[in-house]
Amino acid sequence: MGRRIVIHPGFHKTGTSSIQQFLWINRDKLSDRLAILQLRHLKEPARMCMSFSRKQNPLLLSDLVEELDKVLAAQGITPDDPRDILVSCEALSGHCPGWPGVIDYSTAPFTATVLAGYFEERFEGAEVMVLYTTRDPDDWLWSAWRHHLVGQKLTEDFDDWARRLRSAADFAKIITDVAGAIVPAQVFSLPLADSTRHEKGPGGSLLELFDLPDQLRQSLEPVGHANRGPDETLSRELLWLNRSNLGEHKLRKHKARLLEEAGVVGWVKPG
């Protein structure tokens, strides 16, 4: 098998946190075979893609190639480096739909085209693939709504929000649009329901795309569920707080207390 480059640009709330935590805790074991780039390495490219998803002005990506060059240089990834490359960062598809000004993944085909073209040009002869992790649409909408209750002052109830954001969960259409935009690079999907059945979890399932020794695969440490959202009861409390007259500081403080008591990830900005 020749050099393989897999770009995993989302989607949000499809096991991405679990995958990225798995890759991070196993990074030393994988480092001889796989160069891994995540949000911690891609902050400026991610910022550009998120801004593009809000404003949909292609000029916002005018420096993306330059910033990606900086990322590769900082990580010592060169055309002569024999390792495969895995890029896993859902922010490269923009903000999670439901963020103010973002209602769907309509910018994903454009950013995927830029990313795939970049890696094809920089690593001539490599096999470039784009992989999207997906989820049942209704489950995704429920998860994304709860995510936004935590990360912003969302006051819309679930039913109204889900009706408005329904197209964002049509992953099959989005992937078809991406596939048509990035030929000859290949596009694949990995449903969360399938990836969670892998013995190493979603991260291990994603790594099946690479030619890794069985001994290495078996040595990888699995992770639990990452970035678990609030349950239904807590979601109702968060919605009530968002609809209250609390100022920003007090709202954050109350949310943080509820989330800590429930053992849920604290206040986070969605992206």
What tens digit of pLDDT does each residue of 68-83 get? 999 999 999 999 999 9
Quick check: is 269 in a domain? no
Quick check: is 43 in a domain? yes
H-helix or E-strand containing 5? strand 4-8
> Which residue stretches of the chain are H helix?
16-25, 27-30, 43-55, 64-75, 108-122, 137-151, 158-165, 171-181, 192-195, 201-206, 214-219, 232-243, 248-262
Rounded Cα–Cα distance for residues 7 and 4 (Å)? 10
H-helix or E-strand containing 37? strand 34-37
Residues 6+ apart with CB under 8 A from 15: 133, 135, 192, 195, 196, 202
Query: pTM for the complete prediction?
Result: 0.94
What tens digit of pLDDT does each residue of 201-251 get? 999 999 999 999 999 999 999 997 666 789 999 999 999 999 999 999 999
Quick check: is 86 in a domain? yes
Residues 6+ apart with CB under 8 A from 173: none
Domain span including residue 29: 4-262
CATH of the domain at 141: 3.40.50
What tens digit of pLDDT does each residue of 141-156 get? 999 999 999 999 999 9
H-helix or E-strand containing 8? strand 4-8
Rounded Cα–Cα distance for residues 22 and 16 (Å)? 10
Quick check: is 268 in a domain? no
Quick check: is 271 in a domain? no
How many domains, in total, are found in the chain? Answer: 1
Question: For residue 220, which phi and psi values (nearest 5 degrees)?
Answer: -70, 140
Quick check: is 92 in a domain? yes
Q: Is the distance from CB of 7 to CB of 129 less than 8 angstroms? A: yes
Quick check: is 56 in a domain? yes
